[in-house]
């Protein structure tokens, strides 16, 4: 059964509160293999799927949807503007490419993946680009360079255009801080409906260097700011991995609610009004992630009190995160 819980966006649309993250890995084989676990997610009841051009899985998500027989109108499909496209093509051209790849006429939400514009060519596929960037990162070399133009304010005008045309029924951002949101809102005519925080970066490999919004990084200031502006937060890969899941408080609460630590952390997000898009290829964990306990108010506070402001998404060898300094990102 699909989770009935939905959160209303500032457009009036109701977005499923639990989605399936669609990052599959760095290889085409992994991306193609995602069809099987997309299908199991659809069978389990997932109706919200979070993909991106950068993930290389749009094609395979579209294939799974067609094979599943689930009507398009029952689904919430989110994808993201590639972070190099604003410098080489319009937002509409990029979205049209994603729509063709997905095999659909519109997306339910379209996000600006990062505030910066990366200097990448347009004739290389997403996964090949990511593998190359990750290799440089591992070698301790500067891995990503960025362009000064267009600014995210200028790119947002293109996002607003596809929203007005109905190709994207909601638009939003990803990896935006209070600083970058304030700058965006100076010129925005449409307030972002969504801010997806700390999704998997292109270097999130076995060392688990990159973390997300989770109980060790609660980001109350960002949440309060977004709440005040009517922007809904979405947390990607939100459980915090073993560092959080083995915390004694989380383990104790898992026993109390007869749930797994991951279920407890996901339930904490929902209690705070944050949408979650955990990724799992395991059918049982997929079902578990749709079946979350309702936490007592005091237990929500107890988990929030674990906050350490601990951001694992740290600068790389070039002293930057994907081409920008902490100061530029507003971290």
Active site residues: 55
β-strands 109-112, 76-81 pairing: parallel
Rounded CA-CA distance 79/102 in Å is 10
What is the CB neighbour count within 10 angstroms for residue 10?
16
Tell how far CA 76 is from the center of its chain.
14
At a CB cut-off of 8 Å and minimum separation 6, what does 39 contact?
64, 67, 68
Q: Is 48 annotated in some ligand binding site?
A: no
Q: Using CA atoms in the order 90, 94, 126, 240, what is the torsion angle rounded to 10 degrees?
A: 100
The secondary structure of 213-266 as a DSSP string is: SBTTB--HHHHHHHHHHTPEEEEESTT-HHHHHT-HHHHHHHHHHTS-HHHHHH
At a CB cut-off of 8 Å and minimum separation 6, what does 211 contact?
198, 217, 240, 241, 310, 311, 312, 313
Q: Which residues are annotated as a binding site?
A: 113
Q: Which residues are annotated as a binding site for substrate?
A: 113
């Amino acid at each position: 059964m699909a989770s009935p819980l939905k959160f209303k966006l500032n457009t009036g649309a109701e977005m499923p509160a639990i989605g399936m993250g669609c990052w599959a890995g760095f290889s085409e084989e992994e991306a193609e293999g995602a069809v099987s676990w997309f299908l199991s997610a659809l069978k389990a009841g997932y109706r919200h799927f979070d993909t991106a051009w950068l993930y290389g899985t749009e094609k395979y998500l579209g294939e799974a949807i067609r094979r599943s027989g689930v009507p398009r109108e029952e689904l919430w499909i989110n994808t993201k503007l590639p972070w190099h496209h604003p410098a080489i093509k319009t937002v509409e051209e990029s979205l049209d490419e994603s729509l063709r790849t997905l095999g659909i006429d519109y997306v339910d939400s379209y996000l600006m993946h990062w505030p910066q514009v990366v200097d990448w060519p347009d004739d290389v596929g997403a996964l090949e680009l990511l593998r190359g960037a990750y290799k440089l990162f591992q070698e301790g070399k500067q891995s990503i360079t960025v362009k000064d133009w267009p600014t995210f304010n200028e790119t947002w005008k293109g996002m607003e255009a596809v929203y007005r045309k109905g190709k994207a029924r909601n638009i939003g951002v990803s990896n935006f801080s209070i600083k970058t949101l304030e700058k965006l809102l100076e010129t925005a005519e449409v307030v972002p409906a969504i801010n997806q925080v700390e999704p998997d970066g292109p270097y999130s490999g076995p060392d688990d260097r990159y973390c997300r919004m989770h109980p060790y990084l609660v980001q109350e200031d960002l949440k309060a700011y977004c709440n005040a502006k009517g922007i809904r937060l979405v947390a990607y890969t939100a459980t915090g991995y073993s560092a959080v899941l083995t915390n004694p408080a989380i383990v104790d609460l898992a026993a109390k609610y007869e749930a797994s630590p991951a279920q407890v952390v996901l339930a904490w997000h929902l209690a705070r009004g944050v949408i979650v898009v955990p990724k799992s290829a395991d059918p049982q964990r997929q079902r578990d992630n749709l079946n979350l306990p309702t936490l007592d108010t005091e237990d929500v506070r107890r988990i929030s009190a674990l906050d350490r402001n601990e951001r694992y998404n740290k600068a790389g060898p070039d002293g930057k995160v994907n081409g920008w300094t902490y100061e530029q990102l507003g971290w």
